Amino acid sequence: MKAIESKTNSSEAEIRQLTDHWVDAIQKKDFDAVISHYAEDVAAFDVPPPLQINGPDSIKKNLVSWLSMFDGPAQVHFKDMKITAGDDVAFLRTLTSVTPEGEEHRSWVRVTVCYQKVDGKWLVTHEHASLPFDGQSTVEGL
């Protein structure tokens, strides 16, 4: 049992390191560093349109568009982060706030990031960010 716990703790630590890397890259607006841990076939459901994003280049394009609205660096905050990790699959769930540096939190976004270990390296294979909505709204195109 201890060997399994040790592997899981090691995997969780690796996911935390990737998360720290993501935060640093977002804050610096280093978009290549942000997507360096994304799988080629990654799918993402993000808050800004489009409804679904496929591939690291599309994710990078969305990030550039979104973070270009910030003058200067961004700041990232997490609340209630939980990482669950096995030998080759892991996921992180958290509430996240990304704002221009020095500004108060505007809102919290629900985020889930799914990882898969491929050839010894953790890669993001799915990412989902969402905001609560009133249930009366409609999504065009569905």
pLDDT at 51: 87
pLDDT at 135: 67
Q: What is the dihedral of CA 66, 106, 128, 132, to 10 degrees?
A: -130
Q: Which stretch of DSSP H or E encloses residue 41?
A: strand 38-45
pLDDT at 115: 98
Determine the straight-line distance between the first and last CA of the chain, rounded to whole angstroms.
Answer: 47
pLDDT at 41: 97
Report the 10 Å Cβ neighbour count for 132: 9
pLDDT at 105: 73
**Where in the chain are the domains?**
2-130
- Coil vs helix vs strand at 116: strand
pLDDT at 133: 75
d(C-alpha 142, C-alpha 139), whole Å:
6
Strand-by-strand arrangement of the 89-100 sheet: 53-54, 38-45, 121-130, 109-118, 89-100, 74-85
d(C-alpha 15, C-alpha 84), whole Å:
9
**Tokens read off for 22:** 């993501």
CATH 3.30.70.3270 corresponds to the domain 2-130: no
Are 122 and 115 contacting, i.e. CB atoms less than 8 angstroms apart?
yes
Below-70 pLDDT ranges, the chain: 1-8, 134-142
